[in-house]
Amino acid sequence: MKKFVLGVATTALLMVSMPRTVWAQSGLIDGQVTKIDASASKITIRHGPIKKFDMEDGMTMVFRAQDPAMLTAVKPGDKVKFDAEHVNGQFIVTTIQKAK
Protein backbone atom coordinates (compact mmCIF):
# COMPACT_ATOMS: atom_id res chain seq x y z
CA MET A 1 0.00 0.00 0.00
CA LYS A 2 2.85 2.40 0.79
CA LYS A 3 4.28 1.85 -2.70
CA PHE A 4 0.90 2.67 -4.23
CA VAL A 5 0.53 5.87 -2.22
CA LEU A 6 4.11 6.85 -3.02
CA GLY A 7 3.45 6.21 -6.73
CA VAL A 8 0.31 8.33 -6.70
CA ALA A 9 2.08 11.13 -4.83
CA THR A 10 5.02 11.04 -7.24
CA THR A 11 2.71 11.14 -10.26
CA ALA A 12 0.77 14.07 -8.80
CA LEU A 13 3.99 15.95 -8.10
CA LEU A 14 5.22 15.39 -11.65
CA MET A 15 1.90 16.54 -13.10
CA VAL A 16 1.91 19.74 -11.05
CA SER A 17 5.48 20.51 -12.05
CA MET A 18 4.82 20.11 -15.80
CA PRO A 19 4.73 23.36 -17.76
CA ARG A 20 1.24 24.60 -18.52
CA THR A 21 1.92 24.39 -22.26
CA VAL A 22 2.22 20.60 -21.99
CA TRP A 23 -1.23 20.44 -20.44
CA ALA A 24 -2.71 22.85 -22.96
CA GLN A 25 -1.32 20.98 -25.95
CA SER A 26 -2.99 17.74 -24.93
CA GLY A 27 -6.44 19.18 -25.63
CA LEU A 28 -5.71 21.29 -28.69
CA ILE A 29 -8.06 21.11 -31.66
CA ASP A 30 -6.80 20.31 -35.17
CA GLY A 31 -7.87 22.70 -37.89
CA GLN A 32 -6.98 24.63 -41.01
CA VAL A 33 -7.18 28.40 -41.34
CA THR A 34 -9.43 29.42 -44.25
CA LYS A 35 -9.69 33.19 -43.68
CA ILE A 36 -8.34 35.94 -41.44
CA ASP A 37 -10.05 39.29 -40.88
CA ALA A 38 -7.45 41.14 -38.82
CA SER A 39 -9.47 44.38 -38.71
CA ALA A 40 -12.32 42.54 -36.97
CA SER A 41 -10.02 40.23 -34.94
CA LYS A 42 -11.69 37.19 -36.52
CA ILE A 43 -10.34 33.94 -37.92
CA THR A 44 -12.21 31.28 -39.87
CA ILE A 45 -11.07 27.72 -39.17
CA ARG A 46 -12.16 24.39 -40.68
CA HIS A 47 -11.87 21.92 -37.80
CA GLY A 48 -12.74 18.45 -36.64
CA PRO A 49 -14.99 17.57 -33.69
CA ILE A 50 -14.67 19.71 -30.56
CA LYS A 51 -15.65 17.50 -27.63
CA LYS A 52 -15.70 20.23 -25.00
CA PHE A 53 -18.44 22.02 -26.97
CA ASP A 54 -20.28 18.74 -27.76
CA MET A 55 -19.59 19.28 -31.47
CA GLU A 56 -19.44 15.76 -32.86
CA ASP A 57 -18.94 16.79 -36.48
CA GLY A 58 -16.25 18.88 -38.09
CA MET A 59 -17.25 22.18 -39.62
CA THR A 60 -15.99 25.62 -40.59
CA MET A 61 -16.49 28.35 -38.00
CA VAL A 62 -15.61 31.98 -37.44
CA PHE A 63 -13.84 32.62 -34.14
CA ARG A 64 -12.88 35.88 -32.48
CA ALA A 65 -9.20 36.10 -31.52
CA GLN A 66 -8.62 36.66 -27.82
CA ASP A 67 -5.43 38.53 -28.73
CA PRO A 68 -5.45 40.08 -32.24
CA ALA A 69 -1.64 39.70 -32.38
CA MET A 70 -2.04 35.92 -32.59
CA LEU A 71 -3.51 36.33 -36.08
CA THR A 72 -0.10 37.37 -37.42
CA ALA A 73 1.35 33.93 -36.60
CA VAL A 74 -0.82 32.07 -39.12
CA LYS A 75 -2.23 32.57 -42.61
CA PRO A 76 -5.00 31.01 -44.72
CA GLY A 77 -4.07 27.47 -45.69
CA ASP A 78 -2.01 26.81 -42.54
CA LYS A 79 -2.80 23.66 -40.60
CA VAL A 80 -3.08 24.62 -36.95
CA LYS A 81 -3.68 23.40 -33.44
CA PHE A 82 -5.80 25.73 -31.35
CA ASP A 83 -7.89 26.06 -28.24
CA ALA A 84 -11.09 28.02 -27.86
CA GLU A 85 -13.60 29.07 -25.24
CA HIS A 86 -17.30 29.86 -25.52
CA VAL A 87 -17.91 33.19 -23.77
CA ASN A 88 -21.11 35.25 -23.91
CA GLY A 89 -22.32 33.43 -27.02
CA GLN A 90 -19.04 33.87 -28.92
CA PHE A 91 -16.35 31.33 -29.71
CA ILE A 92 -12.95 32.80 -28.90
CA VAL A 93 -9.59 31.36 -29.93
CA THR A 94 -7.38 31.53 -26.85
CA THR A 95 -4.26 29.96 -28.36
CA ILE A 96 -3.18 28.97 -31.85
CA GLN A 97 -0.02 27.52 -33.35
CA LYS A 98 1.00 26.04 -36.67
CA ALA A 99 0.73 22.26 -36.68
CA LYS A 100 4.00 20.40 -37.00
pLDDT of residue 16: 47
Cα dihedral angle (61, 24, 96, 58), rounded to 10 degrees? -30
Residue pair 71/36 in contact by the 8 Å Cβ criterion: yes
**Which CATH number applies to 20-98?**
2.40.50.320
Mean pLDDT in runs of 10 for the chain (100 residues)? 52 48 64 98 96 92 97 97 95 95
User: Model-level pTM?
Assistant: 0.72
Residue pair 3/29 in contact by the 8 Å Cβ criterion: no
pLDDT of residue 1: 63
Domain boundaries of the chain, sorted by first residue: 20-98
Cα dihedral angle (32, 25, 37, 71), rounded to 10 degrees? -120
pLDDT of residue 26: 56
Nearest to 71 by CA among 89, 48, 44: 44
